Structure 1
Amino acid sequence: MKVMIRCLMFAVQLLCLSGISNLASAEETNRYNAAALPGETDADGMDQVDFYLHTVDVGHMIWDNFGHAAIRVVDHRNHSDLVYNWGQFEFSNPITFAVDFYRGFLYYKLGVYPNAVAMRIYRWENRSVWEDKLLLKPQEKAKLLAKLNWNNRPENQYYLYQYFFDNCSTRPRDYIDEAIGGVLRERYSKVLSSKTFRDFVMEGYAPNPGMDVLLDFGMNSNIDRFATLYETMFHPINARQVLLDYTQEVRPLLSEGHKLVDAERPNSYPKMGYSFILLFGGVPLIPFGFWLFFQQKKAVPSKALYRLFGAFSSVWLGLGGFFGFLMALSWGFSGHLDLHHNANMLLFWPIDGFAFAIAFGIFLKGQPLVLKPGFWTFARAYFLLHIVVSILLPCLRMVGVIAQNVDSVSVFLLPPYVVILFLLFRVGFRKS
């Protein structure tokens, strides 16, 4: 059951990149419609309107590993104090939600509610929250407020969520950039950061053992390019830092404020997921290999040894076949382009259910399977081809044919998988 839960999580784990806060009730949000918002958006009187960036730190759960961002608007003219949150979504039907997200058709919405409600959410989540004042000119304030009011119209509240390029942090970034004349994008969209998108993913899930492995081999080469500084602002913590570092004509854009909530950050675990798999899933194959080849010389091989090898191999090949099938399915049906053309399908074949059937048969019988000549020939060809193609994965990576970072997969997952395929090829079945 735990394995099934993990596998289901794989189909929806990219949701975790949003790190959203969705705790404001629909009733509280809907009470603050366009009629309750500041109406005047010209430059006159904008000295009485203050804008603040709320940056919520990463949390302790897998769905808040990347933080959250929102904009607070304090309008002293009508005594309103509202928070604009782009991280709300409908979760009435979890199955529909998961399917929509997997297909890439998940709509998030803008929620607007009093700052007092936001503070209750922040304290309940027990995550650090920074509030920094945006240092905008009156004309810039007017543009930003007009954009926020436009976004809060019922017909404009929903948007198609994309975890790297359109989320709760990129919306404030883009609106602020639009208000100041596009200089943020112009300045930072051509400057590369020192991190790839894969680096962000791996760092984000450091507090969650195992998730880094699932995401690392589940996402393709699209996330292996270096993000521009502008793109790094998809992460709320990075967005805050870029805005704090920004100056134009000696004018800062964000004034470092204070912490609304001071909470302890979750501890990061050592990145041992791959090592754990190799230690417990790969090292036992060394004695297995010696014992199985030794058993070939015996007239009556050890049934216990063959059952143990069959069970061990069934776990590997069952998971490999499942994830291979899931990667192929994602390529065909998911709207997330980062799940398409995954090079790891060279190792985990979508049709590895065949290899699983051979291994499971060995487990049931406690001895090598006896196959008809035609089927024996097919099985030999299948395993031999699988071994050759699997070994091509790191080779193609080294010569630059594969752009996807498959280094960890090649070091930690490929060796035990290929050894299992080889042992099945040599001692797993015989011709009748």
Structure 2
Amino acid sequence: MKKVVEFKKMKSKNKLVYLFFLLIFMALSPGKAQVYEVSLLTCSPGEELYSSFGHSAVRVRQMTPGGQDLVFNYGTFDFRAPNFYGNFVMGRLDDYYLSVTTFPNFIREYDYFQRDVREQVLDLSVEQADNLVQRLTFESDPSRRFYSYEFFFNNCATKVRDVFETALGDELVWGEVIQEEEKTFRDLIDEYVYSFPWSDFGIDLALGSVIDRDATEREKQFLPDYMEEAFAKATLVGDGPSRALVKTSRVILEFPKEEFVMDTLNPYTVMWAVAILFVAVTFFGHKKKRLLVGFDIGLFSVLGLLGLLLTFLWFFTDHAATKWNWNILWAFPGHLVLVWGLLKKDAFPWLRKYLLFALILADAAVVFWILGWQSFHPSLIPLFLVIILRTNYLYYNIGSSSLKTR
């Protein structure tokens, strides 16, 4: 942690240096026929969730003695901006911006965190490179550099693609990449968060059925690895013989990969442990003629609170990916009313009706999953069994004079 703090302090001290280089770069006149080497930089995923999908940036190197070597980075944000965290929660991500830094400083960060960096040097003509540099310089102006971030459709990778399309126009032709299997947006995310089991669980819980449709080849480019592949397949036309967009590829940083071993305390083991506990509670309660609703109060309290969170994300934020989230069928906010009813000494007449309603909701979630309307996290299977078991058991036994509630 100390090293990370020191590294952040070093970055802060370099801000004035970045600004100095940016002003020099913006002062360069395309009319002087500057010669640039332009590259796409693709960085491997990091060990934190925010960096687990990798990163894309554009390197522009001025090919003259003493020329600047800069990196244009669309993935920059300032967490110290006013109400940054509040805006993030609400899905109002307008604090992302295009920053400019020197290539050595950019690489130093990735070397520090031991993340691979690959470079694709592009075969742009002098005019094409000038057009791109002008566009990048225009977009990096302080009055224009901010943009509204959206994870799937407007992020550090798609912004790179968009700036190339704007600068090169019809001269840039994306090649068609044929995949052996269709992948949904959720499938694509899962490829990168498998090593973060609880984050994977949280993402599957928070994101709705809108991400369970197949992504087109272009839409897959929100991930830097797929953007790198798209650049490798692209061609340049219209300014002479057609040629590949990528002239050469090289590895700048490469580190050994550690084999992933899932922690014992993961969503799968936890959910199965909960399932075993409730099976044991139900069996013991049946033998002793007791309902043991204290366990149900704990279970449905958690499910109700999760339901409130899902309701908030669906209806009260601007996050497009949290809409139509059918996790709300099992994590339903109304379960808090059931908890209130179970806390009472005498069973209300409506309790059995609500238990039947909760059972139907859980069964509906299973049907939605089977029909492919939404993919739920696999660890939820034992939890669904628990909900179905306990709602059934309480439905047929609550209010019985021969059973104790506690």
Tell whether the structures are fold-level matches, with TM greater than 0.5.
yes
1:118 matched to which residue of 2?
Answer: 106
Q: Tell me, in whole angstroms, the C-alpha distance in 1 between the residues paired with 2:390 and 2:301.
A: 12
Q: Which amino acid aligns with 1:262?
A: E
* 1:287 and 2:276 aligned: no
**8 A contact 1:331–1:339 mirrored in 2:** yes
**8 A contact 1:343–1:393 mirrored in 2:** yes
1:253 matched to which residue of 2?
Answer: 245
Structure 1 position 329, deviation (Å): 0.8
* 1:75 and 2:62 aligned: yes
Aligned residue runs from structure 1 range 83-94, under 5 A: 83-92=71-80
* 1:371 and 2:350 aligned: no
1:210 matched to which residue of 2?
Answer: 198
1:329 matched to which residue of 2?
Answer: 312
Q: Tell me, in whole angstroms, the C-alpha distance in 1 between the residues paired with 2:180 and 2:368.
A: 26
Q: SS in structure 2 opposite 1:280?
A: helix
Aligned residue runs from structure 1 range 12-411, under 5 A: 24-25=11-12, 26-37=15-26, 39-41=28-30, 45-46=33-34, 48-77=35-64, 79-92=67-80, 96-106=83-93, 107-182=95-170, 194-247=182-235, 251-265=243-257, 267-269=259-261, 273-296=266-289, 306=292, 310-311=294-295, 313-357=296-340, 361=343, 370-371=345-346, 376-398=348-370, 400=371, 403-406=373-376, 408=378, 411=381
Distance change in 2, residues 1:396/1:57 (3 Å): closer
Q: Tell me, in whole angstroms, the C-alpha distance in 2 between the residues paired with 1:70 and 1:124.
A: 18
Structure 1 position 397, deviation (Å): 4.7
Q: Tell me, in whole angstroms, the C-alpha distance in 1 between the residues paired with 2:181 and 2:149.
A: 24
Instruction: Normalising by structure 1, report the TM-score.
Output: 0.80
Q: Tell me, in whole angstroms, the C-alpha distance in 2 between the residues paired with 1:419 and 1:403.
A: 24
Instruction: Normalising by structure 2, report the TM-score.
Output: 0.84
Structure 1 position 264, deviation (Å): 3.0
**8 A contact 1:54–1:130 mirrored in 2:** yes
Q: Tell me, in whole angstroms, the C-alpha distance in 1 between the residues paired with 2:17 and 2:396.
A: 66
Instruction: Kindly tell me the number of residue pairs found equivalent between the two proteins.
Output: 386
Q: Tell me, in whole angstroms, the C-alpha distance in 1 between the residues paired with 2:278 and 2:172.
A: 54
Q: Which amino acid aligns with 1:413?
A: L
Q: Tell me, in whole angstroms, the C-alpha distance in 2 between the residues paired with 1:23 and 1:413.
A: 47
Q: Which moved more, 1:242-251 or 1:53-62?
A: 242-251
* 1:417 and 2:387 aligned: yes
Q: Which amino acid aligns with 2:86?
A: V
Q: Which moved more, 1:346-355 or 1:187-196?
A: 187-196
Q: Deviations over 1:342-379 (max 9, x none)?
A: 111111111222234456x4xxxxxxx5316xxx1122
Q: SS in structure 1 opposite 2:169?
A: coil
Q: Tell me, in whole angstroms, the C-alpha distance in 2 between the residues paired with 1:22 and 1:151.
A: 27
Structure 1 position 423, deviation (Å): 3.2
**8 A contact 2:212–2:375 mirrored in 1:** yes
Q: SS in structure 2 opposite 1:31?
A: helix
Where does the alignment leave 5 or more consecutive residues of structure 2 unmatched?
Answer: 1-7
Q: SS in structure 2 opposite 1:341?
A: coil
Q: Which amino acid aligns with 2:346?
A: L
Q: CA RMSD in A?
A: 3.1
Q: Tell me, in whole angstroms, the C-alpha distance in 1 between the residues paired with 2:91 and 2:110.
A: 29
**8 A contact 1:22–1:89 mirrored in 2:** no
Q: Which amino acid aligns with 1:246?
A: A
Distance change in 2, residues 1:421/1:152 (3 Å): same
Q: Tell me, in whole angstroms, the C-alpha distance in 1 between the residues paired with 2:58 and 2:9.
A: 15
Q: Tell me, in whole angstroms, the C-alpha distance in 1 between the residues paired with 2:223 and 2:215.
A: 11
Q: Tell me, in whole angstroms, the C-alpha distance in 1 between the residues paired with 2:185 and 2:172.
A: 20
Structure 1 position 98, deviation (Å): 2.3
Where does the alignment leave 5 or more consecutive residues of structure 1 unmatched?
Answer: 1-20, 362-368
Identical amino acids, percent of aligned pairs: 23
**8 A contact 1:223–1:338 mirrored in 2:** yes
Q: Deviations over 1:273-308 (max 9, x none)?
A: 553243211122222222212222xxxx5xxx93xx
Distance change in 2, residues 1:318/1:370 (3 Å): closer
